[in-house]
Amino acid sequence: MRSLTFLACAASLLALTACSSAPVAASSTPDTIVVSGQGGTQVVPDTMQFSLWVEAEGNQLSPLKTQVDQITATILRQLQERDVKREDMRSFQISIQPKYKRQGDTTVQDGFRVSRQIDVTLRQTDNFDHLIDYALAQGVTRVGSIQYRVGDATEASQQALLNAIEDAHRKASLMAEYSQRELGPVINIREQSGGGHQPMYRMAAESMSMDVSEPGQQTINAQVEVTFRLQ
């Protein structure tokens, strides 16, 4: 009797073990499609950045620096009167270099060169040519590092991003239709744009004259990766 009871318990235990070790059906993963989209938008640069240099040469250092500082102060004051904000000007960079010349077989000092750099951000670009003409007339000896850029690219960047998403949707719709499937909702979306970098256009100072500095256009680009469900 005890043997029969033991066998019955063993059989029940084996049955339970067999049920617990039965393979579980694999969960079905929905079909998806992953596409990339690119988009861009054209914008007209509305801000300029450029540098002015005031330079003087001579034998006495102190008078040279005074001369350069006076010209610089006049230019800064006149720029403010022409609607350039104080925070859009920087003039702390000054260079003082000795000059040398050959005298027989030796090199001797021949005075000094004093230079001060004025960096300007101009938000009313229509005034650019007039400001440069004025600065040159006041004693500026060089103009350079001229760049056009977009002051606030937020709106343009957002539009470029929307254009990239629309491009991704067009690609996914075309691929789904070709595969005889229906395009479902978006599962995941990821921006792949570089971001942060603002393209700039440079121009040479030699090419400037009255009312000829046109900014042209710049393209703000965006790229996304989108995952859609296929139905």
93, 122, 149 - which closes a domain:
149
Give the residue with greater pLDDT, 231 vs 21.
231
Whether the predicted pLDDT of 209 surpasses 80: no
Q: Quick one: 184 and 195 in the same domain?
A: yes
Residue 5 lies in a domain: no
* Distinct helix (H) and strand (E) counts, the chain: 4, 8
pLDDT at 86: 92
Q: Is residue 10 part of a domain?
A: no
Regarding whether 40 and 51 lie in a shared domain, the answer is: no
Residue 40 has pLDDT above 50, yes or no: yes
| Joined tokens for residue 203 | 């121009």
- Shared domain for 69 and 141, answered yes or no, is yes
Q: Are residues 121 and 177 in the same domain?
A: no
Q: How many domains does the chain have?
A: 2
Averaged pLDDT of the chain: 81
From residue 200, alpha-carbon distances to 46, 94, 145, 146 in Å are 11, 26, 11, 9
Angle at 174 between CA 168 and CA 175, to 5 degrees: 90
- Judge whether 6 lies within some domain: no
pLDDT at residue 5 is higher than 70: no
**Mean pLDDT for the stretch of residues 82-105:** 90
**Statement to judge: residues 95 and 120 lie in one domain:** yes
- My answer on whether 162 and 215 are in the same domain is yes
Looking at the fold, whether 117 and 59 belong to one and the same domain comes out as yes
Give the pLDDT band of residue 215 (cuts 50, 70, 90): low
CA distances from 205 to 57, 153, 226 (A): 22, 26, 45
Residue whose token pair is 């929307």: 162
Question: Residue 202's pLDDT band (boundaries 50, 70, 90)?
Answer: very low
- 129: confidence class by pLDDT, cuts 50, 70, 90: confident
| Domain match, 54 and 99 both | yes
Greatest C-alpha distance within the chain: 130
Residue 24 within any structural domain of the chain: no
Closest CA to 41 of 156, 148, 153: 156
Q: Which domain holds residue 101?
A: 47-149
Flag whether pLDDT at 102 surpasses 70: yes
Domain boundary among 125, 149, 173: 149
Specify the CATH number for the domain of residue 193: 3.30.110.170
Q: What is the pLDDT of residues 52-76, one digit of tens each?
A: 999 999 999 999 999 999 999 999 9
Do 103 and 34 fall within a single domain?
A: no
Last residue of a domain, one of 115, 149, 183: 149
Higher-confidence residue of 67 and 205: namely: 67
pLDDT tier at 212, thresholds 50, 70, 90: low
Per-residue pLDDT at 10:
43
Is 22 a member of any domain? no
